[in-house]
Amino acid sequence: MAAAKEAASKVEIDMESTAYTAKTLEAVRALHRQHGNVRAVIQAYLHRSEKDIEDLNRLVVSVRLLKGAYLESSDVAFAGKAEVDDSYRRLMRRLLNEGAYPALATHDETIVAEVVKWAGEQQIAPERFEFQMFYGIRRHLQQDLVRRGHRVRVYVPYGQAWFVFYAAPGGAAGQRLVCTEKFRLRLDRGNFSGTTRVPLIGGIVKYWGYFLAKLVAAAAIVYGLWRVLRAFGPRPAPMVVRDQVVKLDPFATDLGFTAAMMGLFLVSAALVALAVIDQKYRCRTCLRRLRMPVSHGQWDHVLLGRPRTEYICTFGHGTLKVPELRLASPELVKWQPNDDMWKELEELSELRK
């Protein structure tokens, strides 16, 4: 606490499940009385949070507001996303109006837009609060906020357990449901090591080559099944037509064989569909499956952006944006690479050497 005070900084006390909420806030109040430079973390999905924020504002304790993501009973927490979002908006307005330099931790673009709108309507200067987001998450939003004069604090987890911090229910500022661009990173003793980047042309060849290999494998499976059916299927006796022997096709003369062939056709169509869907949700660089689907936008806020789902490569190569509905001017599935992220990480590594 003393070192942070000398650096004109604060020590932020993170929040865990409700089993520790009261004890954590008690520790925050004690540290505030003794040192002053402490910030509490409040989870918007808890029923008690409005009263906690009222008490902390009265004590002039800075608050970091996040949604919260621990599995709690309905007795102590809001269960639905809409309820949690409404609570966040309500507490956000109170902190902006009454709080001591609040920190709004969210990657939700809709809520961020509402924060900016409310601050403008209430004539709250940008230097009176800050946004908090994780490095590599909502990068375009972070940059846009800075360009518009807002303060954005970017968190960079590090150490051996960084991935657990990102993926755990309480990680990512309680925003596990809105993470969009997670990266694989290790800064260990000043040296950077990450996944190897693949050149653009090489990545394209690798991606489509893998898709072609799956189609070839599907074709081989279908051909093998067809050969089995032909080998063990019925063999109709040939017919003599005008003194000529005509071999009959079992597909046209045997109902069971016809059904089996139609089933084979359906299997082949399903294999192709699976290959296409699997390929769609793979990283264009490393071919790993994209993870952590995140929904963005709402139909009642369609002017802020069409509803879409985003999937991320856990090794930081990019984000896949999939629209929920194709309208008259269709919004196509879009892959957004993160090459600039790797450049930044390498620069950070060079600075630490």
184 labelled catalytic: no
Name 237's Cβ contacts closer than 8 Å, sequence gap at least 6: 248
Q: Indicate which residue of 14, 151, 176, 306 is catalytic.
A: 14
Q: How far is CA 181 from the centre of its chain?
A: 6
**How far is it, in rounded angstroms, from Cα 25 to Cα 61?**
11
Q: How far is CA 72 from the centre of its chain?
A: 22
CA 342 vs CA 18, 139, 183, 280, 337: distances in Å: 38, 13, 9, 23, 10
- Report helix, strand or coil for 206: helix
Q: Indicate which residue of 52, 55, 58, 64 is catalytic.
A: 64
Per-residue b or e along 312-336, where b marks 16 or more CB atoms closer than 10 Å to that residue's CB: bbbbbbbbbbbbeeeeeeeeeeebb
**How far is it, in rounded angstroms, from Cα 66 to Cα 43?**
5
340 labelled catalytic: no
Angle at 183 between CA 177 and CA 187, to 5 degrees: 130
**How far is it, in rounded angstroms, from Cα 54 to Cα 199?**
53
Q: What is the DSSP string of 87-147?
A: HHHHHHHHHHHHSSS-EEE---HHHHHHHHHHHHHTT--GGG-EEEEETTSSHHHHHHHHH
CA 124 vs CA 40, 128, 147: distances in Å: 21, 7, 17
Catalytic residue numbers, as ranges:
14, 64
